[in-house]
Amino acid sequence: MAAATPLLKDELDIVIPTIRNLDFLEMWRPFFQPYHLIIVQDGDPSKIIKVPEGFDYELYNRNDINRILGPKASCISFKDSACRCFGYMVSKKKYIYTIDDDCFVAKDPSGKDINALEQHIKNLLCPSTPHFFNTLYDPYRDGADFVRGYPFSMREGAPTAVSHGLWLNIPDYDAPTQLVKPHERNTRYVDAVMTIPKGTLFPMCGMNLAFDRDLIGPAMYFGLMGDGQPIGRYDDMWAGWCTKVICDHLGLGIKTGLPYIWHSKASNPFVNLKKEYNGIFWQEEIIPFFQAATLPKECTTVQQCYLELSKQVKKKLSSIDPYFTKLGEAMVTWIEAWDELNPTGDNLAKLSIADGPAKTKK
Amino acid sequence: MAAATPLLKDELDIVIPTIRNLDFLEMWRPFFQPYHLIIVQDGDPSKIIKVPEGFDYELYNRNDINRILGPKASCISFKDSACRCFGYMVSKKKYIYTIDDDCFVAKDPSGKDINALEQHIKNLLCPSTPHFFNTLYDPYRDGADFVRGYPFSMREGAPTAVSHGLWLNIPDYDAPTQLVKPHERNTRYVDAVMTIPKGTLFPMCGMNLAFDRDLIGPAMYFGLMGDGQPIGRYDDMWAGWCTKVICDHLGLGIKTGLPYIWHSKASNPFVNLKKEYNGIFWQEEIIPFFQAATLPKECTTVQQCYLELSKQVKKKLSSIDPYFTKLGEAMVTWIEAWDELNPTGDNLAKLSIADGPAKTKK
């Protein structure tokens, strides 16, 4: 059979944060080549990142970020993969898929290569079920449905804003678990997609993640991490907590489960522990904060929700550490920068920047 | 390897509601024979139910139920598999497994017979995680753990009160879905066990269900269904809603997923529609009622919680139909009967009945 037009070819960008040559794309070529890539180069901007031939991409390094955002560039992390969220901001597409450069194509139990992107798109294009649990998992999948006792009024579901994919081989463990179980590998292929219920938080991993920019983009801020910050490896967690609270408020769904990617290499647990230790303490207070957070009904856009959350963060988390005051302010800067780069009817007049990306290759 | 002593051999009863000879037990013999069975015979008590040789069982028919419970027998449904909850009440064991007599041994993807009971016991004996979602499913399973970002303070989990198993072949659909998709079969083996998060209701199916009587038994009332009632096929749903609200209040967990059984035969969708149609309407109000239900902190036992729920049912659901007044009263009768048959230090003095089961066979 001839290959059909790839799904959402002109409506999805693939965002990749990296500090090295992107040889990993070779393995993804059959699946990614039709799509546009946004590469966010972390670290030394003078370093040349090689991208395999034939990919359509734009690449931004720190100099580009500083030039495009000016003083607002302060909200984009440096020396941390949190910088990837700059790619979400400069994209002009409706959908984003983001993947780490140490993730490869996994195989399903039949030995077939998994087209992770295709599964994410399926997840995003069909509804979620955040208001009631379906025991046979995603009721919209082929061969499944809503089970007896599922209220008919809820069977339309909610729009899906986020698709959270999983990882075979190296699981996404924190440093203490890595240290305790250095040899544990995830070999269990769970053939399910499910909705995370309303009111329930989850640890969102940015390694293999897709979302609908129009529905939730401005909440996908990966925070202040890495260089000059007292914390790392909590960028995606931060985005996940904020995103979940806002999705719950706005009636949007988040799915998790398929697709799997092959996570090739565990990062250094000692380095990770140094990055994580504040987060490990702090999350014991941050998570109850987000579990209890409510947004006023006047907040009807993601931006409004996010700005309201930023106020609550400053007010309620700053007692943990002054870092949260800075983070709360960066959340505001992020939204200002987002709105500048993504003018709508409302804020088109405010648009002032004219610069494009540094290097675009077709 | 020689067979080890079956898990919880003297601490678990298998409860089976039936109207026919229990030939289905032949297939379960390797797994069930070591355990004690409680058979609740529904319908005509003069009918003889044949139980295959070699099983250790006690059998109760309607006459036995009437004799043992006296006027309180009114809370036990007749001509409906809801009668099974009488078996939960007369058991003296800590754990219950209940299964329908049209359920057979399923095979896992490797072709091996699934020991459903063993998996349920595993589920019940390790904790649940109702307060935060773990994206790699049950973190207590071999080869799995808590993922990065899971708060360490929550990793002890909560005691597991219920293990809800699933079904291959005939899925547990309502009559409308059966009518629309008569040929749909569940062929997807999802290799996962997960906790239903706190605050989320689910449709609990009684076909393949295990629970800890000590932790949640008195909430496992299957309501008034069948003969003389305006509703059927909502017995397990009713128990599931009440159980979930009480588990959430008491800090107990409910797991769903593995094990699968093989559900052999779809029940008649026309008959089912007649039983279900009131429930299909009513659940649109009942489910929001349970989603909003809260219990006062003074309710610290399952009985106290259940009696409080019975008041709320009478007060808030009776406007749907007078049936709910009757059901609210039956909930009280159920607890009275439960406490009579299950005397504790507190209510030992109240104990007055002396009758045992009708037929016990060893």
The whole-angstrom distance between B179's CA and the closest CA on chain A is 13
Q: What is the mean pLDDT of residues B130-153?
A: 97
CA distance B36 to chain A (A): 29
B203 CB neighbours in chain A (<8 A) are 132-135, 147-150
pLDDT in tens, B60-113: 999 999 999 999 999 999 999 999 999 999 999 999 999 999 999 999 999 999
Q: What is the pLDDT of residue A353?
A: 44
pTM of the predicted protein model: 0.94
Q: Is residue B164 over pLDDT 60?
A: yes
Residue A116 CB contacts under 8 Å (≥ 6 apart), including other chains: A31, A99, A105, A106, A165, A208, A259, A260, A261
Residue A163 has pLDDT above 50, yes or no: yes
Across the range B265-269, mean pLDDT stands at 89
What are the CA-CA distances from residue A13 to residues A3, A54, A86, A167 (Å)? 20, 16, 13, 21
Return the exposure string of B139-159: e unless at least 16 CB atoms fall within 10 Å of the residue's CB, then b.
bbbeebbbbbbbbeebbebbb
Q: Which residues contact A306 (CB under 8 A, 6 or more apart)?
A: A218, A219, A221, A242, A246, A331, A334, A335
* Interface mutation vs chain B, best among A131, A134, A147, A167, most B CBs within 10 Å: A147
Q: What pLDDT is stored for residue A360 in this prediction?
A: 55
Task: Share the mean pLDDT of chain B.
Answer: 94
Please write the tens of the pLDDT for every residue from B215-234. Answer: 999 999 999 999 999 999 99
Interchain proximity A151–B283, CB inside 8 Å: yes
Chain B residues lying within 8 Å of A172, measured CB to CB: 135, 147-148
Distance from the Cα of residue A191 to its chain's centroid = 22
Q: Which residues of A fall within a CB distance of 8 Å from B184? A: 143, 145
Across the interface, whether the CB atoms of A191 and B196 are under 8 A apart is answered no
The partner residue sitting opposite A200, judged by closest CB among B143, B200, B234, is B200
Q: pLDDT for B33-54, tens place per residue?
A: 999 999 999 999 999 999 999 9
- Percent residues over pLDDT 90 in chain B: 92
Cβ pair B147:A172 closer than 8 A: yes
The residue length of chain A stands at: 362
- Subunit contact A144:B186, Cβ cutoff 8 A: yes
Mean pLDDT calculated for residue range A23-30: 98
pLDDT at A350: 46
Task: Specify the pLDDT at position A362.
Answer: 46
Closest Cβ opposite residue A201 in set B132, B177, B203: B132
Prediction ipTM score: 0.93
Class at the top of the CATH hierarchy for domain A12-342: alpha beta
pLDDT above 90 covers a percentage of chain A that reads: 92
**% residues pLDDT > 70 (chain B):** 94
Average pLDDT over every residue of A79-108? 97
Of chain A, the percentage scoring pLDDT greater than 70 comes to 94
Confidence category of residue A346, pLDDT binned at 50, 70, 90: low
Contact A149, B256 (CB under 8 A): no
Predicted pLDDT at B339? 98
What average pLDDT does chain A have?
A: 94
A304-321 confidence digits (pLDDT tens): 999 999 999 999 999 999
